Amino acid sequence: MEMSAGSAISAGIGAVSADCRALATRARNDAFSFWKLPEQWRDALEPMILSSEFIAERFLFESYLSRQGYRQSRQTRACHKLKRLIPFPVRRRLNEATIRARVKPEFPHWPCESALLEFWSEWLRLSLGMLGRDDGWHIGFWPDGHQCCVVLTHDVESSSGFARIERIADLEERYGFRSAWNLPLTQYRIDWNLVTRLRARGFEFGAHGLSHDGRLFRSARDFASLAPIVERMAAAHGLRGFRAPSTPRDASWIATMAFDFDSSFSDTDPYEPWPGGTCSLFPFMLSRMVELPYTLAQDHTLIRLLHRSPLPVWVMKANWTASVGGMILTLTHPDYMGDGRLLGAYEDLLRMLAELPSAWRALPSEVAEWWRERSELQLSIENGGQPVIRRPGSRRATVRRLSEHPLAR
């Protein structure tokens, strides 16, 4: 896909349709809502705001991907059925070889894709130009004046992975972190007593579908019959977040699920069974849900598919994400890196993340709650020129100069 920030803006302005206006009542993903600019600027920027949402959501909902490549073909589905007859270790190696052999798409780039960041920057520059301004105010992206955000998540794929949870949780706690653990709800026996104990220590649990059998997103009929079961089981165990098993996903389907937040999307991940990426280093709205894309390469990708040492890629990406004020959201599996040298690499990552200056260490549920809260705040410039945040619940929000943000420079 060719989509430079400048050409995207001009293409999008022409493409604004009644659809955009029909969406006016829900939480938005337009550039004005991303930056949270003063409400006094809204009217003058209205056409720019509408077109920006159209463009941003092409990235965020991955609608730039061709549907043909995105959905599983009939042959792929048939192949999946046949594969079930192959012993698991052989099947896993076959899958890995298939993904390695795949031609890497040019877009989004991996491990860093800046197209959407450039779009947010360019949109702001053009908007300030239209308003005849050099600078202005906005509501900071993170609460309490933090400049970036760190979220640790894990998917637990097997009972042997489950048995390693506590050890990794202890390690994270030593560095001052708490993390989230996503569990496939019918794949193996879950010890809910351990879940209770870890929750008491501040850790969080989410639903990772029912199992990794590929059925949930296989067809609309499968989704319609299985999603309510996932939702019911998740509600019974107080699980408020969701991540699709093996991350097949469809923004319009996931948006209908009864969860507070989702984390099935990446910013860029060409190595998943369904390659793609939202290009976003920030949360965004997926209808009523908050989407928290994972932004650090998965351990499985680096270790099993690429045979690379994970730490250098993680450190580079984490530093880059922090430098643009974004959200570092890790996705690791105790199954793959729960012990030995790889656990040591994870500890090195924790040490590095713990030293990031002004980083907000948060659980997925906290980030989702904050993003929802921030989306409802309004910035207003009072008569004396003072910026004020309106709406209750704004205690943690801070007003910042645009020129202080790395994406606005």
Shortest gap between Cβ of 156 and Zn ion (angstroms)? 8
Environment class of 287 (CB within 10 Å of its CB; exposed 0-12, middle 13-18, buried 19+): middle
Q: Which is nearer to Zn ion, 241 or 245 (CB)?
A: 245
Shortest gap between Cβ of 246 and Zn ion (angstroms)? 6
Amino acid identity of residue 106, one-letter, is E
Report DSSP state, residue 192.
H
Q: Which is nearer to Zn ion, 138 or 208 (CB)?
A: 208
Contact 370, 362 (CB under 8 A): yes
Shortest CA distance to 113 belongs to which of 265, 308, 302, 311? 265
Which two structure tokens, joined as six digits, stand for 31?
């550039």
Shortest gap between Cβ of 390 and Zn ion (angstroms)? 42
Q: Which is nearer to Zn ion, 211 or 380 (CB)?
A: 211
132, containing H or E segment? none
Q: Which is nearer to Zn ion, 280 or 298 (CB)?
A: 298
Report residue 403: phi and psi, to 5°. -65, -15
Shortest gap between Cβ of 128 and Zn ion (angstroms)? 43
Give me the residues that bind Zn ion (CB under 5 A), please: 155, 245
Report DSSP state, residue 210.
S
Alpha helices in 26-73 (DSSP H): 31-35, 42-60, 67-70
Which two structure tokens, joined as six digits, stand for 96?
């890995």
Which two structure tokens, joined as six digits, stand for 275?
């390659």
Q: Which is nearer to Zn ion, 39 or 222 (CB)?
A: 222
Shortest gap between Cβ of 323 and Zn ion (angstroms)? 30
Contact 368, 241 (CB under 8 A): yes
Shortest gap between Cβ of 162 and Zn ion (angstroms)? 12
**Residue nearest Zn ion (C-beta atom):** 155
Q: Which is nearer to Zn ion, 245 or 293 (CB)?
A: 245
Q: Which is nearer to Zn ion, 136 or 184 (CB)?
A: 184
Shortest gap between Cβ of 335 and Zn ion (angstroms)? 9
The dihedral built from the CA positions of residue 243, 358, 325 and 343, taken in this order, carries a sign that is: negative
